[in-house]
Structure 1
Amino acid sequence: MTATALLLIDLQHAFAMRTAAGVPRSNPGAEAAIARLVSQARARGVAVMHVHHDDPNPASAFRADQPGGQPLPCAAPLPGEPVFFKTGSSGFSGTGLSTALQDIGITRLIVAGAAIDYCVSSTVRAASDLGFAVDLVTDAVFGFAATGPDGAVHDPDIVLSVTLAALGADFARLVTADTVVWPAA
Structure 2
Amino acid sequence: MTEPNRIALIPIDVQQGFDYPPWGPRNNPAMEANGQRLLTAWRARGWPLIHVRHDSVHAGSTLHPSHPGNAFRPGFEPRPGEAVVAKSVNAAFIGTDLDLRLRRLGVDTVALFGVSTDMCVSTTARVASNLGYRTLVVADACFCFDLVDADGGTIMAETISRAHLATLRAEFAEVIDSQALIARIASE
Please indicate the TM-score interval, normalised by the length of the shorter structure.
over 0.9
The alpha-carbon distance between structure 1 residues 129 and 22, as it changes in their structure 2 partners (threshold 3 A), is closer
Superposed, 1:17-96 pairs within 5 Å as: 17-18=20-21, 23-96=24-97
Post-superposition shift, 1:17?
A: 2.9
Out of 9, 14, 19, the residue aligned to residue 11 of structure 1 is 14
Post-superposition shift, 1:22?
A: 8.2
Q: Partners of 1:182 and 1:17 in 2: how far apart? A: 35
User: Which residue is 1:161 aligned to?
Assistant: 162
Q: Partners of 1:84 and 1:57 in 2: how far apart? A: 18
Q: Partners of 2:23 and 2:81 in 1: how far apart? A: 35
How well do the aligned residues superpose, as a CA RMSD in angstroms?
A: 1.5
Q: Partners of 2:112 and 2:166 in 1: how far apart? A: 15
Unaligned runs of 5+ in 1: none
Scaled by the length of structure 1, the TM-score of the pair is: 0.94
Scaled by the length of structure 2, the TM-score of the pair is: 0.92
Which amino acid is the alignment partner of residue 171 of structure 1? F
The alpha-carbon distance between structure 1 residues 102 and 184, as it changes in their structure 2 partners (threshold 3 A), is farther
User: Which residue is 1:105 aligned to?
Assistant: 106
Post-superposition shift, 1:48?
A: 1.2
Post-superposition shift, 1:75?
A: 1.5
Which amino acid is the alignment partner of residue 33 of structure 1? N
User: Which residue is 2:142 aligned to?
Assistant: 141
The number of aligned residues is 183
Q: Partners of 2:75 and 2:32 in 1: how far apart? A: 6
Q: Runs ≥4 in structure 1, deviation > 4 angstroms?
A: none
Tell me if the contact between 1:30 and 1:140 (Cα under 8 Å) persists in the aligned partners: yes
Post-superposition shift, 1:74?
A: 2.8
Q: Partners of 1:99 and 1:37 in 2: how far apart? A: 23
Q: Percent of aligned positions with the same letter in both sequences?
A: 34
